[in-house]
Structure 1
Amino acid sequence: MLPPPQGGGCLAANVMQFARMLRRAGIPVGPGQVIDAQAALCHIDLTAKAEVHAALRAVMATRREQHEVFDAAFALFWRNPERAIAESVMAALDGARRQAEPQKPKAGSRRAAEAMAPRERREPPKQEPEREHLEAALLVSAEERLRKMDFEAMSEEEVRAARAAIARLRLPFDELPTRRFRPDPLGPRADLRATLRQSLREGGDLVEIARKRRRTRTPPLVVLADISGSMARYAAVLLAFLHAVANDRARVHVFLFGTRLTNVTRALRHRDPEVAFQMVANIVPDWSGGTRIGETLHTFNREWGRRVLGQGATVLLITDGLDREGGKGLAEEAERLSKSCRRLIWLNPLLRWEGFEPKAAGIRAILPHVDDFRPVHNIESLQALVHALSGPASQRRWRKAA
């Protein structure tokens, strides 16, 4: 434990205010870290801003994904007021000479700016018994409306609310038996090898028979999501669901495709959703373009199938089935994909229409090889998917209505 800081001044109060700002920005900073930060500042040169930055980040930002938010918050909080005024004046003069191009803010800067802004103090409204029931009813009706609203019909504010609700969904952890066993005194099978080894240790005397049980493991989950022009609105909202799934369970692989296949698994594993979505946007070159489902499935089967489809993998295929190539080679690739995985579930937003008929060539090519054909157009459909994944596979075969 480092010694507490000595001397007067307002440094301790500033460190405490900075810690509060970090907490509002989403970085969990506790009282112990504040004390350690104040003690660490006693062993460095306070006139060197780089040393102050390194000391505070080493104590307050303990995870790598927190560094971008910390850097943005540090730049906003620990700045010289006189220098900030001078820089603003120079920026205004420079802007009068030439119009600067708009720059996209870095990940974490928006959260730091929101945490830096002063919070408005609002007086608590007077509670009236007659209005409480009415406000609760309006809240429930708004949530119910959001659950059933189509993603394509949502406004930007409703999309943000839908992403927050989708991020709370969790897929069931179905366990499959493996070939390996683990020791278990109440196991259903006798472990003869362990029994003989124990008997030899006892000099050949009779010992209690050792038992074992088969190990279980969560199967891989592979997601193939269409990001073409007809699916861009849905894919933007479903990325929140895929990010939550990738951070909630192990062995999740996510691929996005339009005219080409892109593996975004590593990007979606980032804990911060804002940073994860920005990384996905930087590595996906064909967002809102055309779609070649047959070609992308061929690429996946050839380059990724053996890597990610082992041990009873479940595949979620998210697409409307509208192929620019007219379904060329799609039936063969869909059949190979179906035979390589334990379950193939097709999520199609077109299925939300009551009069849906599989008339497109791409839909007719994929449909015979899927185990489940479900809509994915609102929050309620995603909740139904979560419940369906925990049910028996034999009851999830789609049938055309008579």
Structure 2
Amino acid sequence: MIPLSGSPGRLADNVMHFGRVLRAAGMPVGSDRILTALQALQVAGLESRRDFHAVLAACMVDRAEHRELFDQAFHLFWKDPDIEGRMRALLLPKVKAQGGPPPTTENRRLGAALFPNPPQPEPETPPKEELELEATMSWTQREVLRQADFETMTPDEWRAAQKLLAKLALVFEPLPSRRMQRAAHPGRIDWRATMAGMARHGGELWDIRWRARRTRPAPLVLLADISGSMSRYSRMLLHFAHALGHADARVESFVFGTRLTRTTRLLKSRDPDLAVGQVMRTVQDWSGGTRITDSLREFNRRWARRTLPGQATLLLVTDGLEHGDTSALSFEMERLHKSCRRLVWLNPLLRFDRFEPRAGGVKAMLPHVDRFLPVHNLASLEQLAEVLAGPAAAR
């Protein structure tokens, strides 16, 4: 066993740099964890690579969903001799070719964390006959960005996705109200306007005036899970809710982890980045644990009658991975389903082709939803916008 104090080289500096890479890639690795890892290596030593990996994982990983990201970063940072070439390749756009190797499954945020400023090739002036090809490539880049998973986006891709989301055309289902308005097409006669027209023409009936019911956009309520496995998806959904709230619609938003927090007023700012940043700073349990049953129970008892009208559409964003007895979760979902006109469950686990509802929480929630949709990329949000614009299906 080789103690850390007697080992040559700059291992302590490399461990510190490795922690910074994990932090830039999205893991909550603070300075306290790096110091704990250095102290643990003083005790465990460097007998084998397996022990070294176990010590760093025990000190820097506190959630199961971060294990895969840590393993990839450890493999690339501490072993691969061609790390620079591989990580720079992750930052380049991919072009599919027949017969080529399968695409990499590594997290692209690792490339941005290790090389935040990759060298860009010198731009070449394309000939005039290649203008059409250049336009096709720009369309391809947008299409790749539409299909990219929010969890693996680099910071540059995340900002580009926000810009595309702001340009998304948002149309809400029109609902008839009790108020009436003048109409140009025949329907219900507007007797007051018709009689006033007759009085102006000496009592003769020159034109019949019509009226129809006014329409208003369907109200929307968002319930977003902000636990560790859902925080990045819910963060983009908050940008989506911000865009909905500034599109002449009544939008109420709530987030929940271990507790339920109303965020409607926090999203009133015109700048979406400032609004979402204020939500992340205000909510105390962001990217922590999750209690789906308790959060839904609090919403049903405290907020449902005040913020959830009968004609509202409810968007529930969660993976449904609830621990323990799920009978209470089924009861709260049934109450939630009866309180709204349409309940849409958005689950990022649907991005997997082989997803099956085997978890107890998913089985308890699924019978009480009207639509079950994915929410992991821009294409799924465009599909959600189409669902919100269309009429609700009969239950």
| Aligned residues of 2:330 and 2:364 also touching (Cα < 8 A) | yes
The reply on whether 1:317 has 2:345 as its aligned counterpart is no
For 1:181 and 1:392, the matched residues in 2 are separated by 21
Provide the aligned C-alpha RMSD in A.
2.9
Q: Map of 1:84-95 to 2, 5 A cutoff?
A: none
Q: Partners of 1:256 and 1:277 in 2: how far apart?
A: 12
Amino acid at match of 1:227: I
Question: Could you tell me how far 1:232 is from its partner in structure 2?
Answer: 1.2
* Separation in 1, partners of 2:282, 2:359: 31
Give 3-state SS (helix, strand or coil) of 1:304's partner: helix
CA displacement 1:116-144 (0-9 Å, x = unmatched): xxxxxxx9964422553443333222222
- Aligned-residue offset at 1:273: 1.9
SS in 2 for 1:176: strand
Deviation at 1:348, TM superposition (A): 0.4
Counterpart residue number, 1:393: 392
Helix, strand or coil at the partner of 1:355: coil
Q: Is the 8 A contact 2:172 2:388 kept in 1?
A: no
- Tell me, in whole angstroms, the C-alpha distance in 2 between the residues paired with 1:394 and 1:199: 42
**Number of the residue aligned with 1:384:** 383
**Would the alpha carbon gap of residues 196 and 145 (structure 1) be closer, same or farther in structure 2, given more than 3 Å must change?**
closer
3-state SS of paired residue (1:217): strand
Structure 1 match to 2:278? 279
Distance 1:128 1:186, change over 3 A: closer
In the alignment, structure 1 segments of 5+ residues that lack a partner are 1-122, 398-402
**Percent identity for Structure 1 against Structure 2:** 50
Change in Cα spacing, 1:209 to 1:162, as seen in structure 2 (3 Å) is closer
1:339 partnered with 2:342: no
Gaps of 5+ in 2: 1-121
Which secondary structure does the structure 2 equivalent of 1:393 belong to?
A: coil
- 2:321 and 2:123 mapped to 1: Cα distance? 53
Q: What is the DSSP-based 3-state SS (H/G/I as helix, E as strand, rest coil) of the residue aligned with 2:246?
A: helix
Q: What corresponds to 1:177 in structure 2?
A: 176
Query: Which deviations, in whole Å up to 9, do the C-alpha atoms of 1:55-87 show, x marking residues without a partner?
Result: xxxxxxxxxxxxxxxxxxxxxxxxxxxxxxxxx
Supply the distance in 2 between the matched residues of 1:380 and 1:258 (Cα, whole angstroms): 26
Aligned AA (2:146): R
CA distance, structure 2, for counterparts of residue 290 and residue 124 of structure 1: 47
Give 1:45-194 correspondences, 5 Å limit.
Answer: 126-184=125-183, 186-191=185-190, 194=192
TM-score normalized by structure 2? 0.62
Per-residue deviation at 1:185? 6.1
Does the CA contact (< 8 Å) of 1:170 and 1:245 recur in 2? Answer: no
Matched residue type, 2:232? R
Q: How far apart, in 2, do the equivalents of 1:238 and 1:354 lie? A: 22
Deviation (angstroms), 1:342: 0.9
Count of aligned positions = 273
TM-score (norm 1): 0.61
CA-CA distance at 1:324 after TM superposition: 3.8
Q: Counterparts of 1:331 and 1:343 in 2: how far apart (Å)?
A: 17
Q: Distance in 2 between matches of 1:142 and 1:201?
A: 65
Quote the offset at 1:392 in angstroms. Answer: 4.2
The one-letter amino acid of 1:260's match is: R
Q: Distance in 1 between matches of 2:184 and 2:234?
A: 49
Deviation at 1:310, TM superposition (A): 1.5
CA contact under 8 A between 1:220 and 1:311: conserved in structure 2?
no
How far apart in 2 are the matches of 1:350 and 1:290? 18
Give the Å deviation of 1:210: 5.3
The one-letter amino acid of 2:245's match is A
Structure 1 residues 211 and 133: CA distance shift in structure 2, 3 A: closer
Q: Give the conservation status (yes or no) of the 8 Å contact 1:175–1:218.
A: yes
Deviations 1:343-397 (A, max 9, x none): 11111011121211111111111111111001111111111122233334339x9
Match of 1:105 in 2: none
Task: Give, in whole Å, the separation in 2 of the partners of 1:201 and 1:133.
Answer: 65
Summarize deviations over 1:230-271 as a string: whole Å, max 9, x none.
Answer: 101212222222221222232111111111111111111210
Aligned counterparts, 1:233-382, within 5 A: 233-310=232-309, 312-382=311-381
- Distance in 2 (CA, whole Å) between partners of 1:176 and 1:127 is 52
Q: Which residue of 2 aligns with 1:225?
A: 224
Question: Alpha-carbon deviation of 1:155?
Answer: 1.7
- Residue 188 of structure 1 and its aligned partner are, at CA, apart by 1.1
